[in-house]
A and B are shown apart, each in its own frame.
Chain A
């Protein structure tokens, strides 16, 4: 029995001679935020459009739950999808309420007005419901667009660059709303360039450059490319304690002022800390020295570029 909210299998899309998406497969689980990362022109938007049944794959298939996305089934299956396009695409002459109302009716909501009120409440824009959307700030427009994407209570939400062009405060608000969507059990597919955002939000990440370069949790991708290291700040000069650790069989120790950096995995963190304390070190901080997702992403693309 299928438990995936959405399954993409060997998705391929050609535009003339150009291959926009090449043999991409992944699944999206309910209550998961899945990020699709990739440079401009990597095929992210084309992939989203194929998932939404807006354009047909040249080959491969999309399943929503257990049902295949075919041209005949697409209108019905789209009722289970919410799609935030790259631009909010609101009707500027209409009020916030009316923008959402049209969509609630297009999705055949029985109590469209109630659905709109709920969406407005969830995104905290009820007080602006009578304003024309032309008068809203970019951040508020994005909120309205997000509310529109879920007004019909879809189980899957596809978000294309949800925080692009927003100020930090609005971007933070949007991120909180995305987390709230996950909290409600929706499967969220997030397409973005913002690696920091992915690091904060995503349960799993796929790196796309026409084809799938890598897929996994951010932690898995880090582990795959970089060996994990431990950073310890001591109250004294770290160099003297580096020697102590070397004698205990820990290799590749770097000392820099009060900081010690050593590879993880040889000994457990408590063992290392105890060893340092026994040697007279005052421990100020212990942290895992993880590469940023940006480093992981660039290394992945670099490796992929070298292969091509």
Chain B
């Protein structure tokens, strides 16, 4: 448990000092979202209709943007060797690194999402649900992404391969994330969608660290 906290603290500190991951993800999130009204045109009802989908897709992509650095930086400077050869189970280390990734990337996205939702004329009823859905779904993005990041860690330009591996696995999260917001706006309960999002996150929390650890060990060979 202590090890978990120390690894999270270190990664968060590194992210804050380098100032890259979080701000880049948020910047990308904002720009991608702002591009849509420019491309689709300024009709308010069309924007309102697509707002939840646009925000979720933008969130997936911004999350993906920083995932390829999740293990790559540690791999390049030799830290990964030391993290693997330690008394801490690699699965715990992976879980800690995912937590740090979520804190530095996804949490800023959840905070910026309401402002962008207003920009896209989303029904104000849907905004709290959007935030819940993002909070429940984004941990799974980090966790599932970690599996891809672990598998591609030694590969040059692994980021592209990572996207191809991981994006298809993000589809259920996208469907239920958008579904929750739409259900709320149309007066249906968003709870079933949110529960499924929670279930996906829980499942990823259990399965992804094992898969990632196995992938990392294979990448180090």
Say if A and B assemble together: no
Footprint of A on B, CB under 8 Å? Answer: none
Residues of A in contact with B (beta carbons under 8 Å apart) = none
